[in-house]
A and B are shown apart, each in its own frame.
Chain A
Amino acid sequence: MAIDKNARYLESHEYAKPEGELMVIGISDHAQAELGDVVFVELPNVGKELDKGVVFGTIESVKAASDLYMPISGKVVEVNEEVKNDPSLVNKDCYGSGWLIKVAPTKLSEFESLLDAESYGTSIGEV
């Protein structure tokens, strides 16, 4: 499974990845593989302020529905409309075109407390 080294992770498999002043949020390759084919994503509206750890949306695969948790506090500045129309992008390119939302972080220090690529790899049993 691919683990993007520029991103940091929650144990629940969401990632946050710096992009300029913003943080891109999505789910890991391991998560998309476990979920199977993604068929629906529900994401918050632009402007919504969300704290780390809260549910920001839902992702539904052929198998099940899962909550999405904020890896970092911030205000939503962009939502991936393409992924809403074609949820399979999450399976095809979870770190790229399959991103979910972009936020302006309000507590940047939280980023450091997330799992780095190596620790996340260990947590999912990959060395």
Chain B
Amino acid sequence: MPINYPTGAIEEHLITRRGVGLFDIDHMGQIEIAGEAAETFVSHMISAKVSDLVAPMARYSLLLNEKGGIIDDLFVYRLPNSWWIVVNASNRAVDLEWFRSKAPTNVSIIDRSDDTYMIAVQGPRAIELLDKISNTPVSPIPRFCWANISIEGIPILFGRTGYTGEDGGELFFPAKKAIELWEYLLECGESFGIETKPIGLAARDSLRFEAGLPLHGHEIGIDINPIEAGFKWACDFEKEFIGKEALLSIIEQGISRKLVGIEVFGGVAREGYEVATADGVIIGRCVAGMYCPTVKKYAANAFVNPNYAKIGTNLSVIIRGQPRSAEVIKRPFYVPVYRR
């Protein structure tokens, strides 16, 4: 996946918000967990509620260590006889090792990443496009559910999921059909008059950033816990899971920093830049920052002292030695369509 295609990062972002963006995301990892005790195992390993997750549902979750640090975030799809877990490329090896190190003998952990290709089809016209070319319409499939479909005879696991804040889906299919399907999707977009373009990494990042979706290594990470990052909702405290005790203790003690969204006036705040009070006292640091093409704002996500986390608080960001005024604003900067 290139940083951008010849279209350019900002235009790619805007196309995904008005037409269809195609994302070549084969780098994502897929881990299948099966076996007699798979449900108990998955439920123990991940933070989200699993007991009510029946086929064809899918759900966002965190993978925590005993300290409550976030090893990765993932999507878990409940298949009829197994659990299909989609993880970040950079954490695939670590995740696999983590699952394998904890798995009892009656649970199998299978790395499906090499055989599985993954393309995301995202945007307000994505479902319209897929409906025209799928053997069975995808529009009746609810958000966060999946179905088996086929396009041009290629068998596809279609998830009504994504990472852009737009409607659309993610397609899992045999890796050897990758080029064929990619080109077919582009051709069909053109022939149906539905604007469809390949989207690069820079726009993938700005789309997810604007929509308030986390990126591991930034808003979440091994040294970040879900409470300070605002992901308590992704943890089911009714069940037992790795990291739960640590989280309960963090909740009891209170957090020392909190993830906030800030609008920055007079520059682009980037990862690592310090955040200060209006008087210049350093109170935190940016974990991501950029120009948001849809809402037309310069914004950043930062971990700050919780006393300065209230919306409307005036802050500053130190941009190359110069304090620039900033204000805590509501996240997400762009409300995902499926949350309106």
Contact surface of A with B, Cβ cutoff 8 Å: 36-37, 39-40, 42, 58, 60, 62-63, 65, 88, 91
Contact = CB atoms under 8 A, between A and B. Distances in A.
A91 B9 CA distance: 12
A61 B10 CA distance: 10
A40 B267 contact: yes
Contacts of A40: 267-268, 291, 298
Contact of A63 (B202, B266, B298): B202
Nearest to B9: A62
Nearest to B268: A60
A25 B267 CA distance: 21
Interface of B: 3-4, 8-11, 202, 206, 266-268, 270, 290-291, 298, 320
Contacts of B9: 36-37, 62
B97 to A, nearest CB: 33
Given A37-B8, A37-B10, A62-B4, 12 more contacts: A36-B3, A36-B4, A36-B8, A36-B9, A37-B202, A40-B267, A60-B291, A62-B202, A62-B291, A63-B202, A65-B270, A91-B8
A39 B267 contact: no
A65 B268 contact: yes
Contacts of A36: 3-4, 8-9, 202
12 contacts: A36-B9, A36-B202, A39-B268, A39-B298, A40-B291, A40-B298, A42-B267, A58-B267, A58-B320, A60-B268, A60-B291, A65-B320
Contacts of B267: 40, 42, 58, 60
Contacts of B202: 36-37, 62-63
Contacts of A88: 10
Across the A-B interface, the 4 shortest Cβ-Cβ residue pairs: A39-B291, A62-B9, A37-B10, A60-B268
A60 B9 CA distance: 14
A86 to B, nearest CB: 11
Nearest to B205: A62
A63 B271 CA distance: 12
A31 to B, nearest CB: 15
Q: Which of A62, A63, A91 gathers the greatest number of chain B CB atoms within 10 Å? A: A62
A39 B10 contact: yes
A113 B310 CA distance: 55
Q: Which of B9, B10, B202, B320 gathers the greatest number of chain A CB atoms within 10 Å? A: B10
B270 A62 contact: no
Contacts of B206: 62
Contacts of A62: 4, 9-10, 202, 206, 290-291
Contacts of A37: 4, 8-11, 202
A58 to B, nearest CB: 7
A72 B8 CA distance: 31
Contact of B3 (A39, A42, A63): A63
Contacts of B266: 42
Nearest to B290: A62
A91 B206 CA distance: 19
A65 B8 CA distance: 17
A62 to B, nearest CB: 4
B5 to A, nearest CB: 11
